[in-house]
Amino acid sequence: MSLDAVLTKLDSDLDTALERLMALLAIPSISTDPAYKADCAKAAEVLVADLASIGFDASARPTPGHPMVVAHGGPEDGPHLLFYGHYDVQPVDPLSLWTQPPFEPIIEDGPDGKIIRARGASDDKGQLMTFIEACRAWVAVNGALPCRITIFLEGEEESGSPSLVPFLKENKEELSCDLALICDTGLFDAETPAVTTMLRGLLGQEITITGPDRDLHSGGYGGPAANPIRVLARVIASLHDETGRVTVPGFYDGVPELSQEMRDQWQGLGFDPEAFLGAVGLSEPAGERGRSVLEMIWSRPTCEVNGISGGYEGDGFKTVLPSKASAKISFRLVGTQDPIAIRESFQEMVREMLPRDCEVSFHDHGASPASVMATDNPAFEQARQALSDEWPKEAAFIGAGGSIPVAGYFKTVLDMDSMLIGFGKDDDLIHSPNEKYDLTSFHRGMRSWARVLSAVTGKE
């Protein structure tokens, strides 16, 4: 077997690989809109046929929503890898802001080279095809895949994945592998690849504080009457201390300190916090004192107020004491923080702060733990080195400020860690008009996956 031959094959077949991607991008597989149900089914069938053409045993599995594509291939020896991607895409509104029809993909000149312009180019069709093309080249050169590979492509990721967990549970034995590969993330920058090893969890709480049984005139009741907005403001102000730490009792249980090795990698990335904040009109970090900006985003938990309502909010001025005041509060979680325990502690903290004439109600908005990958698994360092061999700068293990629920489900349902490797860029405009994917991301992405497969299987 020859990795060099596989890479050469990917280079020589780039144009035909692009043709296959363009055909997939032309299918308007919008999962949120029932009008596109047939298009989602078509995208699934196109992928099934493509995978079958390179030797996979592939099928489109029905769900209450859109089909799941499941394919198996490769020899029994070596690790068993599961690759996950999604073929559904976001709606295209507002259509008037697109420079060309979103499902008529084109290749055009961008500021840093050629780009592929279409809905789904980066999220996630271009990304998932990098892996499929790597598999195609490997089979063409060597006659077989380097190990046993299961490909699992979802059709509802952009509509909340309602069928995902039931499908995983029903097919647990078939889908459980040694390691999952997820290609729905991005590069650190244009020249620096990354393996995402930390994903923050998310806890959402909406609180409503009720005082008087109706809105009151502030001239007649201001002073003696409890004002729910004042109570809510005191609750919100108490959530952080003067150093920026969250004050909810027990909040930091399960929060690990960053290892020196990981801290050194992050410092070597050349991240510019002033430019990061300056791009959104800010100038200094406002989080935990003594923590770097990357630590705050990737490895530290947060508590943020996402919305407040109460009283008169229309034009002009109305002097009322409101009957109710509400806030939406989210917690980003790391390590082994328990979202249920934090929710209970937060609710108890709020109740203890209420004056006698006020009451509070809570509305839950999800509670998912963080995902922390076991980077002591040799495959992670092997993949990092493989990516470093392909890109101009050395790859790093990084965190992600947001959440990718499928990685958590793979862990909780299938008891399987995930390696998140993607080639998107911050300016790809995913979910927005004029989405794009750099041709360099597509080309180097294919080559990167070929290198990763070689590295983790030991087949060069």
The predicted-structure confidence for 107-137, as pLDDT tens digits, reads as follows 999 998 999 999 999 999 999 999 999 999 9
> CA 102 → CA 140, 219, 376, distances in Å?
32, 57, 42
Can you tell me the mean pLDDT for 356-368? Answer: 93
Residue with tokens 């592998």: 177
Q: Which of 265, 307, 305 is CA-nearest to residue 286?
A: 305
Band (326; pLDDT cuts 50, 70, 90): very high
- What pLDDT does 302 receive? 97
- What pLDDT does 82 receive? 98
**pLDDT > 70? residue 264:** yes
Q: Report the alpha-carbon distance of residue 342 to residue 346 in Å, rounded.
A: 6
- What pLDDT does 460 receive? 79
pLDDT tens digits for range 312-323: 899 999 999 999
Band (348; pLDDT cuts 50, 70, 90): very high
In sequence order, what are the residues at sequence separation of 6 or more whose Cβ sits closer than 8 angstroms to the Cβ of residue 99?
117, 434
- What pLDDT does 459 receive? 86
CATH class of 201-255+301-368: alpha beta
Band (404; pLDDT cuts 50, 70, 90): confident
Can you tell me the mean pLDDT for 85-93? Answer: 97
Mean pLDDT taken over the chain: 96
- What pLDDT does 433 receive? 97
- What pLDDT does 403 receive? 76
Q: Which of 240, 257, 352, 235 is CA-nearest to residue 303?
A: 240
Can you tell me the mean pLDDT for 446-452? Answer: 98
Task: Write the DSSP assignment of 77-90 as a string of letters.
Answer: SS-EEEEEEE--B-
Q: Is 208 helix (H, G, I), strand (E, B) or coil?
A: strand
**pLDDT > 70? residue 1:** no
Residue 37, exposed/middle/buried by CB under 10 A (0-12, 13-18, 19+)? middle
**pLDDT > 90? residue 425:** yes
**pLDDT > 70? residue 349:** yes
Give the start-to-end residue ranges of the domains of the chain. 3-199+370-457, 201-255+301-368
CATH class of 3-199+370-457: alpha beta
- What pLDDT does 366 receive? 84
Band (395; pLDDT cuts 50, 70, 90): very high
Q: Which of 47, 8, 4 is CA-nearest to residue 24?
A: 47
pLDDT tens digits for range 201-237: 999 999 999 999 999 999 999 999 999 999 999 999 9
- What pLDDT does 381 receive? 97
- What pLDDT does 3 receive? 96
Instruction: List 208's β-bridge partners, or say none.
Output: 326, 361
Beta strands in 316-460 (DSSP E): 320-321, 324-333, 359-368, 371-372, 396-400, 418-421, 436-438
**pLDDT > 70? residue 340:** yes
Q: Which residues of 215-249 are buried (b: 16+ CB within 10 A; e: fewer)?
A: ebebeeeeeeebbbbbbbeebeeebbeeebbbebe
